[in-house]
Structure 1
Amino acid sequence: MTKLVIFDVDGTLIDSQAHIIASMTAAFGAVGVPTPTRDAILSIVGLSLPIAIRELAQEASDKTIAEMVDVYKADFTENRLKMDAAMPLFEGADSAIARLIARDDVVLAIATGKSRRGLDALLQEWTFGSHFVSTQCADNHPSKPHPSMVQACLAECEVAAQNAVVVGDTTYDMEMAAAARCAGLGVSWGYHGVDALKATGARAVVTDFSQLDAALDQIWKD
């Protein structure tokens, strides 16, 4: 029986908060709107960019939101160069993925609020990037927590929902998993807290990538 692990990216595999905060600050500054707090910015990580900015700037016009999205995208690309390109993987992420790649019964996928361009840039940098069978992003789907990205992963990987686990750091990931009838596995080192992850349906929350294998096997066993 083939099992599927669907990873979120920002806050789950990579520590991108410095890039996100810098680019969001640039986007708000470009239109003269006060920049939200760091906590407010990190709270919307995981949503598709236009939805995230709309959540942070609820009084802004659609035209202003569109301008902010464009500024964010341009600044994010520039910041990746200024901050020495690759955003760091969280400790243990590469080893955990290598262990899953070595298993005959597991396939891997990605469901992220990133753009296709941003995701492809990361996949090219990662030594394990080619091992993701399905890579779904914000360009082709509604924003999380809509289940569309997970449903596409299930279809492309030919795995039933009951055999799939979404691994993520936000409530949007857990809600997306539930909407697709998959299990959700939270990680504690990302942008939403452990209590929030559990409240939105996480079957378990790991505090270190070394715990990932056992947590996945327990979910599949249950």
Structure 2
Amino acid sequence: MHTRQFDLIAFDWDGTLFDSTGIIVRCIQAATVDVGGKKPSDEAAAYVIGLGLMQALAHAAPDVPPEKYPALGARYQYHYARHFNDLSLFDGVLPLLDALKARGHLLAVATGKSRRGLDEVLQSVELKHVFDGSRTADETAGKPDPLMLHELMAQFDVAPERVLMVGDTTHDLQMALNAACPSVGVSYGAHEPDAFTALRPRHVVHSVRQLHDWLLVNG
């Protein structure tokens, strides 16, 4: 019988479980142009995925003055809502989550989304019942601050070495490092995997299939 190495597995959402990176990039770019800013590059817009919304927009659009941040956020939400029905889970995510639940892992989401945004998307993909807990950027500190993981560890009484963070950005892996938790990076999301090495993930996977296989052996 396989002995679990991790009691709690925390997943980032966008770009890790949810195939939303490309659309988020385009929404950030469109919102910035709408309020008179210079269109961010694909790389600049992708870099901020995983951060809280206003932190992300301010970083991606440094030429937009702070007094325009509310309008910038509203325009992002407008563009994102138009594409909401175009988004979906990556292929293989449902079998992965089912397999982990069957083995008795606690599952959580640690995301830069808002609570409202996460609840809406979990309802749309019918996954609310799968996750035992979640933390969002508007109800606790945003990444890479470790507070999200600290709160999940406290909620489930799990030690840091028994928690695994899975994410597609350096923000996710830095948060895990700051919380003294192991991590796994996924290369199919927002950030290039070359940037992961310094953050010492246990492994880097290049597909959900690889993530599934690694977790069933090493999780």
Letter in 2 for 1:78: R
Q: Number of aligned pairs?
A: 215
Maintained 8 Å contact 1:16/1:87: yes
Corresponding position: 1:70 with 2:74: yes
Moved more, 14-23 or 90-99: 14-23
Q: Alpha-carbon deviation of 1:189? A: 0.7
**Which residue does the alignment assign to 2:116?**
117
**Which residue does the alignment assign to 1:7?**
11
Q: Distance in 1 between matches of 2:8 and 2:196?
A: 20
**Which residue does the alignment assign to 1:94?**
94
Alpha-carbon distance change, 210 to 21 in structure 1, aligned in 2, over 3 angstroms: closer
Q: Alpha-carbon deviation of 1:63? A: 0.9
Maintained 8 Å contact 1:169/1:191: yes
Q: Distance in 2 between matches of 1:135 and 1:190?
A: 20
Q: Alpha-carbon deviation of 1:178? A: 0.8
**Which residue does the alignment assign to 2:44?**
40
Deviations along 1:140-198, whole A, 9 cap, x unmatched? 12221001111111122221111000000001000000111100111111111222112
Letter in 1 for 2:73: V
Corresponding position: 1:202 with 2:201: yes
**Which residue does the alignment assign to 2:169?**
170
Q: Distance in 2 between matches of 1:181 and 1:160?
A: 10
Q: Alpha-carbon deviation of 1:213? A: 4.6
Q: Distance in 1 between matches of 2:148 and 2:86?
A: 24
**Which residue does the alignment assign to 1:187?**
186
- Structure 1 length normalisation: TM-score? 0.89
Q: Distance in 1 between matches of 2:30 and 2:172?
A: 27
Maintained 8 Å contact 2:37/2:63: no
Letter in 1 for 2:90: F
Q: CA RMSD, aligned part only?
A: 1.9
Q: Distance in 2 between matches of 1:76 and 1:181?
A: 34
**Which residue does the alignment assign to 2:147?**
148
Corresponding position: 1:52 with 2:56: yes
Structure 1 unmatched ranges of 5 or more: none
